């Protein structure tokens, strides 16, 4: 079994590289952002709670995303492995994920962090906003809030995995295929 976390600030290319990773390694893709957007679209109770926070670029509460991930893992008992995308985003989420996986005799193998400068991130998100239909991709102040949330709450997650010897950093700049080669090397070496 192979369980990976794809990590990085908003706009680093996690979604794009996740597509490549799930095809190459046959993993189940668990993107908390995608799951939350689906909940919002379907106007579920959870979606209603999350919408306002997502619209402003703030993180939704840990217990909401932890519960979501828990359910998805349980629904995919035969999975050959998982790719966690956009999760964990706080140290509390990382601790909860370890506990959840431990309980099932599973573990995270590696966290792959995509490194991209802030200037490039903003450029990429605004470009994506032209086609993504995401309101949090088009407004500069929302993008800044998302980057700020990343800096304050999400960056410490890297230390958590560094201490476990599972942290791998990959340049997120350049051609998609070339970045993917770097990711595969980090996964396999
Ligand atoms: P993303 O598609 O990963 O950029 O996520 C979009 C939005 O969903 C974020 O700005 C947060 O509001 C929310 N979100 C996604 N994943 C998480 C998470 N693991 N913890 C808290 N909020 C999240």
Per-residue pLDDT of the chain (189 residues; tens, 9 = 90+): 999 999 999 999 999 999 999 999 999 999 999 999 999 999 999 999 999 999 999 999 999 999 999 999 999 999 999 999 999 999 999 999 999 999 999 999 999 999 999 899 999 999 999 999 998 999 999 999 999 999 999 999 999 999 999 999 999 999 999 999 999 999 998
Instruction: Give a yes or no: residue 145 inside a domain.
Output: no
Question: What is the number of structural domains in the chain?
Answer: 1
Model pTM score: 0.96
Residue 31 near residue 42, CB atoms below 8 Å: no
In a domain, 143, yes or no: no
- How far is 109 from 138, CA to CA, in rounded Å? 35
Which atom of ligand 1 approaches the CA of 86 most closely? 3
Q: What is the strand order of the sheet 82-85 is part of?
A: 28-31, 82-85, 4-7, 110-115, 167-171
Q: Cα of 32 to ligand 1 centre, how many Å?
A: 6
Pocket test residue of 29, 37, 82, 89 for ligand 1, highest count of atoms within 8 A of CB:
89
CATH code for the domain of 52: 3.40.50.300
Average pLDDT, the chain: 96
d(CA 47, CA 61): 12
Q: How far is CA 60 from CA 67, 115, 178, in A?
A: 12, 24, 33
**77 lies in some domain:** yes
What is the SS3 assignment for 72? helix
Distance from the alpha carbon of residue 151 to the mean position of ligand 1, in angstroms = 14
132 part of a folded domain? no
* pLDDT at res. 97: 98
> How far is the C-alpha of 139 from the C-alpha of 142, rounded, in Å?
5
User: For residue range 67-102, what is the model confidence (pLDDT) as tens digits?
Assistant: 999 999 999 999 999 999 999 999 999 999 999 999
- Token pair, residue 7, equals 């990590």
Structure tokens of 165?
A: 């010897």
- Pocket around ligand 1 at a 6 A CB cut-off: 10, 32-33, 36, 53-54, 57-60, 65, 86-87, 89, 93, 136, 146
Q: What's the domain range around 82?
A: 2-116+158-188
Residue 138 lies in a domain: no
189: Cβ contacts below 8 Å, ≥ 6 apart: none
pLDDT at residue 29 in the model: 98
Specify the pLDDT at position 39: 97
Q: Is residue 103 part of a domain?
A: yes
pLDDT at 177 (0 to 100): 97
Mutate-to-test residue for ligand 1 from 13, 34, 86, 155, highest number of ligand atoms within 8 A of CB:
86
Does residue 128 fall inside a structural domain? no
Q: Best of 17, 33, 151 to mutate for ligand 1, by most ligand atoms within 8 A of CB?
A: 33
pLDDT of residue 149: 97
Residues annotated catalytic, as ranges: 14, 89, 128, 134, 146
- The count of residues in the chain is 189
Instruction: Locate the ligand 1 atom nearest the alpha carbon of residue 88 and give its number.
Output: 19
Q: What is the pLDDT of residue 130?
A: 94
Tokens found for residue 11: 């706009």
Q: Does any domain span residue 21?
A: yes
Q: From the CA of 58, how far away is ligand 1's center (Å)? A: 8
């Amino acid at each position: 079994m192979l369980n990976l976390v794809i990590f990085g600030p908003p706009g680093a290319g996690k979604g794009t590289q996740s597509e490549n990773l799930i095809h190459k390694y046959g993993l189940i893709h668990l993107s908390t952002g995608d799951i939350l957007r689906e909940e919002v679209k379907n106007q579920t109770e959870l979606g209603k709670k999350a919408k306002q926070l997502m619209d402003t670029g703030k993180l939704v509460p840990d217990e909401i995303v932890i519960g979501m991930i828990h359910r998805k893992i349980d629904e995919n008992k035969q999975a050959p492995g998982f790719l966690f995308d956009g999760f964990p985003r706080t140290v509390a989420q990382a601790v909860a994920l370890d506990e959840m996986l431990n309980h099932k005799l599973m573990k995270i193998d590696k966290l792959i962090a995509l490194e991209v400068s802030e200037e490039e991130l903003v450029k990429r998100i605004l470009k994506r906003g032209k086609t993504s239909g995401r309101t949090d991709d088009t407004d500069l102040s929302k993008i800044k809030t998302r980057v700020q949330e990343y800096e304050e709450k999400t960056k410490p997650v890297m230390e958590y995995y560094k201490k476990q010897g599972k942290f791998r950093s990959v340049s997120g700049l350049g051609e998609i295929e070339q970045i993917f080669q770097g990711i595969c090397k980090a996964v396999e070496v």
